[in-house]
Every structure is written in structure tokens, then in C-alpha cells.
Amino acid sequence: MPIDASLVGRKSEPLTRSWTSDDALLYAIAVGAGQEDPLSELQFTTENTAGTPQQVLPTFCNVAMGAGMALPGDLDLTKMLHAEQAFELFDTIPVAGEVESTGEIVGVYDKGSGAIIATESVSRVPGGAPLAKIRTSLFFRGYGGFGGERGPGTSWERPTGKPDHVVTYTTRADQALLYRLTGDRNPLHTDPSFSGRGGFPRPILHGMCTYGFTGRALLHTVAGSEPKRFRAMSARFTKPILPGQTITVSIWADGTDVRFQTTDESGAPVIDHGTAVIL
């Protein structure tokens, strides 16, 4: 099945997802929690620290709760890049839990050199209220030119003033090997032969790993390290980084509205169009 507007409205089957305390701990470590100082984020990296109950990083919802994407089965995944990711939380993520999620293709856009497929999933506690809404946009190189809409524009601009917060993290050389254990086994991030077919000389770091590092920076600087205050996050991926490289997160806060941008060692954006809602 080719990529075109006829895919809009295609839904996945309902999917029951569950996670344990260990899953949440592994995710936290995979996105750098405790990496610089093992004692600094114990509420996310341990479950038995005296006086420190375990909590869950808000960005974990993208790993724990996403539904199937209902994509055509004949797409060349070496041509796929993560374009955008957004989530909205309606409650704090429990340390362990179960949700039922259903995914739907909500947009197909023709970018000329490629096509974007946008999916959205809603995750509900069985028999209860929604816990999270997750939106993912994937860019498929070489699949454009079918005459479809280019998609909605954006009014996001990098603030001109000095950031309110600047956070720098250095990823590990084996960061991709660690992050893949959270569930994303795409060989683009580990297999040199696969990444070579995709046009990359070396395996690149998962965009969602960089996204998780960025979410930690937002949580600790703007939300006071309190997950209950972190309600939404949206961002666009602009270029990959390699495991072992350093990233810098610049954050501008205006009340509950937050804008951010993540750059690489050269200052080039790797994540931009960043917005978050922090209560």
C-alpha cells in the first residue's frame, strides 16, 4: 500500500499495555537519570531509598503507553525518520500499571522529498478515564510527490531573549545499546550495515532518547522535579546525534507555557519547535 491520503482514519486494534516498577527504572537510566551523579535522581532510579518513594519520568508515557501505528506493512523502514513527538498527560503516571491504547492515522502530508504520517493514540486505564494522549509523526524519505497536502504550518520561533535555564548533558558512548532495552529495537541505532543503507555512516542515537534527556531537563528546571506538574510536551526532531555526543537544552519559561530547543556540540538544533505545559 503506498503512502497517500487514503491512509487517514486507519486505526490499529486496541492494545493492552502494562509496565512494572523495573520498566520505569530502566527507562530513567536509559535517558540519563543518575548518569552524572548516581545520588541525584533516586526517586526515578530506585524503588527502596529511605524517605524517597519511586516516581516516574513523564516522558515514559511514550514508551509505556503507545498503541500500534497501523502503518502499511511494505514500507522501507530504512527510509523512516522520527519527525515529531508530543504527549499530554491527564494524571500522574503510576509506578506500575496497565492501559488500553488505540492508535489512528490522523494525517498524511506530502513534503516533496518524502511523506509524513501522523498518528495519535489515546491510552485509558481499563474501564476508566484517559491517562495520556500521544502523537507521533514519521517522515519517510522518497515517498513524497503524490500530490497531497503539505500539512499545517507552525508559528514557533526561538525566543530572542536569554534562556531562563540552560542544561548540558553528555550521552554515553553505549547510550543506544541501553535505550534499546526500553523497547525500541530499530537496528538503525545499533547495526552499522542497516544505518549505512539509511545513509548514516554510523548508527545514530534514538531521537526518543534525546527527547527523554530533554524532558528530564524540563522536569528538573521548570517543574521542580515534580512529575505531577508536567502536563504536556511537544517537539520536532531536526537532526540526529551520535551516542557519546553532548547536547544542550535551552529553556524559556512564561508561566505555565514553556518553550525549549536542544542543540548539539556545534550549536545546531537537534530538537526544536519545543513547547511544554508545566503547572
Please, what is the Cα angle at 209 between 112 and 107, to 5 degrees?
A: 35
Q: What is the enclosing helix (H) or strand (E) of 80? A: strand 80-89
DSSP string, 151-178: ---------SSPPSEEEEEE--TTHHHH
Cβ contacts of 245 within 8 Å, gap of 6 or more: 170, 171, 205, 264, 265
Q: What burial letters (b/e) apply to 76-86, b meaning 16+ CB within 10 Å? A: eebbbbbbbbb
Q: Choose the catalytic residue: 23, 110, 184, 272.
A: 184
Cell numbers standing for residue 158: 526561538
Beta bridge partners of 15: 101
Cβ contacts of 57 within 8 Å, gap of 6 or more: 24, 27, 28, 31, 33, 44, 212, 215, 216, 219, 227
Is residue 244 within 8 Å of 179, Cβ to Cβ?
A: no
184 as an active site residue: the answer is: yes
Q: How far is the C-alpha of 91 from the C-alpha of 227, rounded, in Å?
A: 10
Q: How far is the C-alpha of 100 from the C-alpha of 74, rounded, in Å?
A: 26
Q: Choose the catalytic residue: 82, 189, 206, 273.
A: 189
Question: Which residues have a catalytic role annotated?
Answer: 184, 189
